[in-house]
Chain A
Amino acid sequence: MSEAHAHSVAYVRDAMLPEQAPPPGETGALHWLRANLFSSIPNALLTLIALYFIWSLLAAILPWTLNGIWDAGSLSECREIRNARGIESAACWAVVNERWLQLIFGFYPTDDRLLASMFYSEGLAAAGGAEAVFGPGASSTDRIAFVGQMKAEIGNLAIFFFGYWRPLLALILLVVAVAPILYSSLPRKLLWFSLAFPFVAVFLLWGGTIWGPVLVAAGLVASLLIARVVAPAAGALIGMLAGIVAFLAIFLNPLPFLDLGLFPLLPNVKAVLDAAMPIGLPAIESADFGGFMLAIIIGTSGIVLSLPLGILLALGRQSSMPLIKWICVSFIEVIRGVPLIVWLFTASLLLNYFLPPGTDFDLLLRVIIMVTLFASAYIAEVVRGGLAALPKGQYEAADSLGLDYWKSMRLIVLPQALKISIPAIVNTFIGLFKDTTLVVFIGLRDPLGLTNAIRATGEWNGIYWELYIFVGLMFFVFCFFMSRYSMYLERKLATDRR
Chain B
Amino acid sequence: MKKTVFLGTLAVAGLAASIASAQSTLEQVQGAGVLRCGSNEGLAGFAAPDANGVWSGFDVSLCRAIATAVLGDPQAVEFVPLTSQTRFTALAAGEVDVLVRNSTWTFSRDTDLGLDFQGVNYYDGQGFMVSTSLGVASATELDGATVCIQTGTTTELNLADFFRVNNMSYEPVPVATNAEGQQQYLAGACDVYTTDVSGLAASRATFENASEHVILPEIVSKEPLGPVVRHGDNLWGDIVYWTLHGLIAAEEYGITSANVRELASAPTDNPEINRMLGTEGELGAMIGLSNDWLVNVIAAVGNYGEIFEQNIGENTPVGLARGLNAQWTDGGLLYAPPFR
Instruction: Give me the interface of A with B, judged by CB distance under 8 Å.
Output: 75, 79, 98-99, 101-102, 106-107, 109, 139-141, 144, 147-148, 151, 285, 287, 345, 348-349, 352-358, 440-445, 449, 452-458, 461-462, 464
**Does any Cβ of A come within 8 Å of B269's Cβ?**
no
* B17:A357 contact, CB within 8 angstroms: yes
A461 with B183: CB separation less than 8 A: no
Known: A354-B10, A443-B81, A449-B81. A457 touches B49 (CB 8 A): yes
B41 touches A141 (CB 8 A): no
- Which single member of A139, A352, A452 contacts B41 (CB below 8 Å)? A452
Residues of A within 8 A of B317 (CB): 458, 461
Measured between beta carbons, the chain A residues less than 8 angstroms from B208 are 79
By beta carbon, the residue of chain A nearest B186 is A462
B16 interface residue (CB < 8 Å to A): yes
Contact partners of B182 in chain A: CB under 8 A: 462
In the complex, chain A residues whose CB is within 8 Å of the CB of B302: none
* Interface size bracket, B side: 35 or more
- Tell me, yes or no, whether B140 is within 8 Å of chain A by CB: no
Set of chain A residues within 8 Å of B206, measured between Cβ atoms = 75, 461-462
B94 within 8 A of A: yes
* Chain A residues whose CB sits within 8 angstroms of the CB of B50 once the complex forms: 148, 457
The winner among A141, A349, A443 for most chain B CB atoms within 10 A is A443
Q: For the complex, give the distance between the alpha carbons of A410 and B135 in Å.
A: 76
Mark the stretch among B71-79, B147-155, B277-285 that contacts chain A.
Answer: B71-79
Q: Is B334 an interface residue (CB 8 A)?
A: no
Q: B48–A458 contact, CB under 8 A?
A: yes
User: Does B339 sit within 8 A of A, measured CB to CB?
Assistant: no
Min C-beta distance of B232 to chain A, whole Å: 12
Residues of chain A within 8 A (CB-CB) of B51 are 98-99, 101-102, 151
Q: How far is the CA of A354 from the CA of B10 in the complex (A)?
A: 7
The answer to whether B13 touches A456 (Cβ under 8 A) is no
Chain B residues near A456 (CB, 8 Å)? 40-44, 46-49, 57
Instruction: Check B76 against A140 for contact (C-beta < 8 Å).
Output: yes
CB-based contact A356/B20 at 8 Å: yes
Instruction: Given the known inter-chain contacts A287-B78, A349-B86, A349-B89, please indicate yes or no for A455 contacting B52, CB distance below 8 A.
Output: no
28 contacts between A and B (CB under 8 A): A75-B206, A102-B49, A102-B53, A107-B49, A140-B73, A144-B54, A148-B52, A285-B78, A349-B86, A352-B95, A354-B10, A356-B17, A357-B20, A357-B21, A357-B94, A358-B20, A358-B94, A443-B41, A443-B90, A454-B42, A454-B48, A457-B48, A458-B44, A458-B45, A458-B48, A461-B44, A461-B205, A461-B206
Q: With both chains docked as a complex, state the minimum distance between the C-beta of B102 and any C-beta of chain A, in angstroms.
A: 12
The answer for the CA separation of A396 and B203 in the assembled complex, in Å, is 69
Report the 8 A-B pairs with minimum CB-CB distance, sorted nearest first.
A462-B206, A456-B42, A453-B42, A140-B75, A352-B93, A358-B20, A456-B48, A357-B94
Indicate which residue in A444, A445, A464 contacts B183 across the interface (CB closer than 8 Å): A464
Q: Indicate whether A141 sits within 8 Å of B74 (C-beta atoms), given known contacts A354-B10, A453-B42, A462-B182.
A: yes
Told that A101-B51, A148-B50, A461-B206 touch, could you supply 7 new A-B pairs with CB distance under 8 A?
Answer: A106-B53, A107-B53, A353-B93, A443-B81, A443-B83, A452-B179, A456-B47
Does B316 make an interface contact (CB < 8 A)? yes
In whole Å, how far is B167's beta carbon from the nearest beta carbon of chain A?
Answer: 36
Contact B75 A144 (CB under 8 A): yes
| Cβ–Cβ < 8 Å partners of B53 in chain A | 102, 106-107, 109
Contacts of A455 in B (CB 8 A): 42, 44, 179
Are A348 and B86 in contact (CB-based, < 8 A)?
yes
Of all chain A residues, which has the CB nearest B94? A357
Query: B42 and A452: CB pair below 8 A?
Result: yes
A443 partner, pick from B75, B76, B86, beta carbons under 8 A: B86
Give Cα A180–Cα B45 distance, bound, in whole angstroms. 50
Cβ–Cβ < 8 Å partners of B93 in chain A: 349, 352-353, 357
Check: B263 CB closer than 8 A to any chain A CB.
no
Per the bound structure, the CA–CA distance linking A462 and B16 in Å amounts to 48
Q: At the interface, yes or no: B300 with Cβ under 8 Å from chain A? A: yes
The reply on B207 being an interface residue by CB < 8 A is yes
Q: Is the CB of A462 within 8 A of B207?
A: yes
Cβ–Cβ < 8 Å partners of A452 in chain B: 41-42, 177, 179
| B202 CB to nearest chain A CB (Å) | 7
Q: Across the interface, do A443 and B20 meet the contact criterion of CB distance under 8 Å?
A: no
Give A307 Cβ to nearest chain B Cβ, in Å. Answer: 31
Within B191-227, which residues are at the interface with A (CB < 8 Å)? 202-203, 205-208
Contact B16 A356 (CB under 8 A): yes
Q: Could you tell me the distance in whole angstroms from the C-beta of B81 to the nearest C-beta in chain A?
A: 5
With most chain B CB atoms within 10 A of its CB, the pick from A107, A441, A458 is A458
Q: How far is the CB of A107 from the nearest CB of chain B, in Å?
A: 4
A151 near B207: Cβ-Cβ < 8 Å: no
B133 at the interface (CB under 8 A from A): no
| Bound CA–CA A358/B317 (angstroms) | 41
- Could you tell me the distance in whole angstroms from the C-beta of B243 to the nearest C-beta in chain A? 18
B82 at the interface (CB under 8 A from A): yes
Give complex CA distance A454, B10 in Å.
42
- A147 near B52: Cβ-Cβ < 8 Å: yes
B78 and A352 contacting across the interface, CB-CB below 8 Å = no
Report how far A99 CA is from B50 CA in the complex, Å: 9
The residue among B47, B78, B93, B94 with the most chain A CB atoms within 10 A of its own CB is B93
Contact across chains for A443 and B316 when beta carbons are under 8 A apart: no
Residue ID in chain B nearest A256 by CB atoms: B12
Are B54's CB and A148's CB within 8 A? yes
Q: How far is the CB of A122 from chain B (nearest CB, A)?
A: 20
Asked if B270 is at the interface of the complex by the 8 Å CB criterion, the answer is no
| Cβ-based interface call for B173 (8 A) | no
> How many whole Å from B196's CB to the nearest CB in chain A?
15
Asked if B80 is an interface residue, CB under 8 A from chain A, the answer is yes
Residues of B within 8 A of A461 (CB): 44, 202-203, 205-206, 317
Instruction: Note all chain A residues with C-beta closer than 8 A to B70.
Output: none
For residue B114, give the distance in angstroms from its CB to the closest CB of chain A: 13
Q: Which residue of chain A has its CB nearest to the CB of B207?
A: A462
Which A residues lie within 8 Å of B57 (CB)?
Answer: 456
| Residues of B close to A287: CB separation below 8 A | 78, 80
Rounded to whole Å, the gap between the CB of A105 and the closest CB of chain B is 9
Residue of A nearest to B76 (CB): A140
**Separation in Å of the A129 CB from the closest CB of chain B?**
21
B318 at the binding interface (Cβ < 8 Å): yes
The reply to whether the CB of B329 lies closer than 8 angstroms to some CB of chain A is no
Contact with A along B29-65 (1 / 0, CB 8 A): 0000000000011111111111111100100000000
Name B66-108 residues within 8 Å CB distance of A: 73-76, 78, 80-83, 85-86, 89-90, 93-95
A147 contacts across to B, CB distance below 8 A: 52
Contact call B42/A443, Cβ cutoff below 8 A: no
A275 to B40, CA, bound (A): 38
* Closest partner residue, chain A, to B80 (CB atom): A287
A354 touches B13 (CB 8 A): yes
Chain B: minimal CB distance from A77 (Å): 12
Taking CB as reference atom, which chain A residue is nearest B316?
A458
For residue A342, give the distance in angstroms from its CB to the closest CB of chain B: 12
> Residue on A with the closest CB to B87?
A443
Q: What is the CB-to-nearest-CB distance from B130 to chain A, in angstroms, rounded to a whole number?
A: 18
